[in-house]
Amino acid sequence: MKRPATILLLPSVTILGAFFVLPLIWILILSFLGSSPTGEVVGEFTLGNYARFLTDSYYLTDLLWRTIRLAAVATLFSVLVGYVGALLIVRADPAAQRWMILLVMLPLWVNLVVRTLALMVVLGRTGPLNQLLVGLGIADRPLQLLYNETAVVIGMIQVAVPFVVMAIYGVLQSIPRQLEHAAMTVGATPLAAFRRVTLPLSVPGILAGSVLAFGINIESFVVPILLGGGRVRFMSVAAYETATVSNNLPFAATIGIILLVVAMALLGLYQWAVRSAGRAAPALQAG
């Protein structure tokens, strides 16, 4: 049976080898190659690209740190909104739940450019949000809501929330409602019962949801381009522009590799931190 198994695996392993592994190895190598002022690749080993990135405060703070910071802020809000959404769904009438889930998943099926465009209309100078703010007297004239960090964060939250909802919904669903009722019989108000029972038991969902959201946000590409309007610099966009506009391939590769390493390291660190915090309190095992 061994031969047919290898044959079955061959097509996908080949295509992944050629169009996934090889290119990744190639940009790793490329990131250590020099480039001439015109962007030509120079075939000699250098740490210059990394040195350039890591010594220039523009790249470090304006680009890398901004990317991490915006992704983290958006993740925090995505988890908050997503948790509330998941809780609202899980506590809804079972017949309604199916529809509520369908509506949460709907945006995932709509093209990201379309969704971002929708936010551009909402946040625009003449858009409904500005009309609301002026109408309520919160602002006396329309605010610049687009093309800044807030707009990018709002966009990232919009994108990440459905994923967070699905991750947390799955966990919340597995927690029997009776555990909260039991807390109420010993004197807990519904809020106290939620805080002492459901919330700690849903930590695995929060963890999964935030890892998912951060992973999506840090590689966000369409959102910073459209909602940042070129004013909000972002790692993924910088890598794209360096490669296609300035044609500095080695440096674009360096930005890509740094983004990859930082994203992996932060996610690893986060999961490790949550796990070890969880170990101090007893392990969670619902049901």
Partner 1 sequence: MHKTILGTTLWYLGTLAFYVFLLAPLAILVAVSFNPVAMVFPPQGFTLAWYGTILEKPDFLHAAFASTLLGVMTAVICTGFGVLAAIGLRRYDGPLKGPITSLLMAPLFIPAVIVALALFQILFMMGILNNIWTLVAAHVVVTIPYPVRNVMAQLEGFEGSLEEAALSVGATPRQALLRVTLPLLKASIIPSLIITFVLSWNNYTVSVFLASKDWVTLPLQLRAYLQYEYQPFVAAMSTMLIIASVVLLVLVDRTVGLGAMRKRG
Partner 2 sequence: MGQISVRDITKVWGAFDALKHIDLDVREGEFLSILGPSGCGKSTLLRIIAGLEAPTSGQIHIAGRDVTRDPVWKRRIGLVFQNFALWPHLTVFRNVSMGLELRRLKKDEIRRRVLEALRMVQLEPLAERLPSQLSGGQQQRVALARAIVLKPDVLLLDEPLSALDKNLRQDMQVELKTLQQTLGLTTVFVTHDQEEALSLSDRVVVMDRGAIGQVDVPEAIYNRPASEYVARFVGEAFLFRGIVSGSGARPMLRLPDGTSVPVEGERLQTGREAVAFVRPEWVELEPYDVHSHTGAPRGVIDRLMFFGQTSDYLVRVADRQLRVKRRPDGPALSPGNDVALICKARVLAAQVDAA
The residue range among 95-103, 108-116, 136-144, 278-286 that interacts with partner 2, by the rule CB under 8 A, is 278-286
DSSP track, 169-230 = HHHHHTS-THHHHHHHHTT--HHHHIIIIIHHHTHHHHHHHHHHHHHHHHT--HHHHHHHTT
263 binds partner 2, rule: CB under 8 A: no
196 binds partner 2, rule: CB under 8 A: yes
Instruction: Output 91 or 231, the one with its CB closest to partner 2.
Output: 91
Q: Taking CB within 5 to 8 Å according to partner kind, which of partner 1, partner 2, none is near residue 259?
A: partner 1
Instruction: Output 177 or 277, the one with its CB closest to partner 1.
Output: 177
186 binds partner 2, rule: CB under 8 A: yes
The residue range among 66-74, 190-198, 227-235, 241-249 that interacts with partner 2, by the rule CB under 8 A, is 190-198
Q: Taking CB within 5 to 8 Å according to partner kind, which of partner 2, partner 1, none is near residue 109?
A: partner 1
Long-range contacts of 237-244 (CB under 8 A, 24+ apart): 238/63
Helices (H), the chain: 2-16, 22-30, 48-55, 57, 66-90, 94-109, 112-123, 128-135, 149-173, 178-185, 190-193, 199-201, 203-218, 222-228, 235-244, 249-280
- Considering only 47, 51, 60, 103, the residue that binds partner 1 (CB under 8 A) is 103
282 binds partner 2, rule: CB under 8 A: yes
User: Contacts with partner 1 in 37-66 (CB under 8 A)?
Assistant: none
User: Contacts with partner 2 in 156-185 (CB under 8 A)?
Assistant: 176, 178-179, 181-185
Instruction: Output 91 or 181, the one with its CB closest to partner 2.
Output: 181
Find out whether 118 and 106 touch, Cβ atoms under 8 Å: no
Give the CB-side neighbour count of residue 141, counting CA atoms within 13 A: 1
User: Contacts with partner 1 in 111-130 (CB under 8 A)?
Assistant: 111-115, 117-122, 124, 126-128
Instruction: Output 22 or 277, the one with its CB closest to partner 1.
Output: 22
Find out whether 234 and 5 touch, Cβ atoms under 8 Å: no
φ/ψ bin of 154: left (φ > 0), alpha (ψ from -120 to 50), beta (otherwise): alpha
Q: Taking CB within 5 to 8 Å according to partner kind, which of partner 2, partner 1, none is near residue 158?
A: partner 1
Q: Taking CB within 5 to 8 Å according to partner kind, which of partner 1, partner 2, none is near residue 127?
A: partner 1
The residue range among 136-144, 237-245, 254-262, 275-283 that interacts with partner 2, by the rule CB under 8 A, is 275-283
Find out whether 219 and 236 touch, Cβ atoms under 8 Å: yes
Long-range contacts of 24-28 (CB under 8 A, 24+ apart): 27/253, 27/256, 27/257, 28/253, 28/257
User: Cα(2)–Cα(42) distance, rounded to whole angstroms?
Assistant: 45
Q: Taking CB within 5 to 8 Å according to partner kind, which of partner 1, partner 2, none is near residue 51?
A: none
Cβ 282 to partner 1 shortest distance, Å:
29
What lies within 8 Å, CB to CB, of 279 at 6+ separation is none
Site residues for partner 2 per CB under 8 A: 176, 178-179, 181-189, 192-193, 196-197, 200-201, 281-287
